[in-house]
Amino acid sequence: MIEVHALHKTYETHQAVIDLSFTVSPGEVLGLVGPNGAGKTTTMRCITGILQPSSGHIVVAGADVVQDPVAAKRNLAFIPDEPHLFDYLTIHEHMQFYARVYNVADRDARASALVSEMELTEKLHALPGTLSRGMKQKVAIACGLLHSPKLVLFDEPLTGLDPIAIRRIKQTIKRLAAAGSAIIISSHLLGLVEEIATTVLLMQNGRKVLHGTLAQIRESAPDLREKGLEEIFLRATGYENDANATRETQP
């Protein structure tokens, strides 16, 4: 569904992403994790066509994001960590607009189902200014999923959500994957990634550090067999070694 080949992205002198390659197949949920500044958001933005790769190729549902961005974007949805909705459009109008852009055939039925799933029915005619952050996040998700995208990118999808909404969003992500969408989730919530991701890609300083299913990653390091993603993360990024070294040097 998505193929990333030798992606490089440089900002002036800073190399944000270095030689990154991976694929995500239909039904796969990729957890994109890494410390701050690892290059996760840059990678997501390159995939969505907002940023131009310095080199490399990104192919979404058979369309190259740089060569044929419109075709590629038709098949993807990007749910950013900070939802910026249109100030003077109601929730209902947001849904209508997305349906028009993506030319969704059964727009009313799909919109109604998503609004209900995100528990937005009562707020349908409210302006974004009157909504909480979590509600705005739900609106962004509902709008993004309206055209049944083949690839969905979530950037910190659970920020600002209450426990019930978190449960809902997790179920939605699982439902999307079961329906054949490829999913990429960038998150610092390693518990979430561990729970719903089928594969994990760990980045650090713009480079791929680990990639595979959790089982494969555990296989690669015998001492991590019984460990969770958090321990794997800390070990792979070198934090745990540094912390041990610091403890040993302390009197």
Partner 1 sequence: MSSALRWLILRQIAGGTRYRLSRLKNPRYAVPALLGIGYFGLIFVGNVFRPGEANEARQVRDYFHVLVGPVFAMLFATTWLFAPARPAPLFTLPDASQLFVMPLTRRQLLNFRLLKAQFAILILSMLAGLFALRSADVKPWFAAASAFTLMNLMALNAMAASIVVNRILNAGLTRFVPPLPGVLMLAVLASVLAIQYQPIEFGQTNVLPWAREVFHTGPAAIVLWPFHQLALLPGAQNGADFGRGMAAAAGFAAVLYGLTMMLVSPFEERALALAENVGKVIKAKRGGNWASLALEKRKSLRSTSLKLAPTGKPWVAIFWKNVVAEWRIGTWRVAAVVAVISVLGVSVARVVGVNKGFWALVMGMSAAFGMMFTTFVPRLLATGLHLEIRRAPLLKALPIRGHDLLRGTAWAGALLSAIPLGAFATMAGIALSTGIEEGFEFGPYAVAGALPLGIAVCGLMVVLESGLVLMVPAWVVTNPGEAGVEAVGRNMLSFLVRFVLGGLLLSVPVGIGVGVGAAIWVAGAPGAGLVAGGLIAAALVALEVELMAYLLGIRFNSMEPGEEG
Residue 202 β-bridge partners: 33, 210
The Cα–Cα gap between 174 and 122 comes to 25
CA distances from 243 to 92, 202, 234, 247 (A): 50, 20, 10, 6
Question: Shortest gap between Cβ of 126 and partner 1 (angstroms)?
Answer: 11
Q: Where are the beta strands (DSSP E) in 137-189?
A: 151-155, 182-186
Among the listed ranges 23-31, 92-100, 158-166, 167-175, the one in contact with partner 1 (CB under 8 A) is 92-100
Question: Shortest gap between Cβ of 242 and partner 1 (angstroms)?
Answer: 27
Question: Shortest gap between Cβ of 99 and partner 1 (angstroms)?
Answer: 9
Burial group, residue 58, by CB count within 10 angstroms (0-12, 13-18, 19+):
buried
Question: Shortest gap between Cβ of 87 and partner 1 (angstroms)?
Answer: 7
50 interacts with partner 1 by CB under 8 A: yes
- At residue 70's C-alpha, the angle toward residues 154 and 41, to 5°, is 30
Which CB, 101 or 221, lies closer to partner 1? Answer: 101
86 interacts with partner 1 by CB under 8 A: yes
Q: Which residues bind partner 1 (CB under 8 A)?
A: 48-52, 69-71, 73-74, 76-78, 80, 82, 84-90, 93, 96-97, 100-102, 127
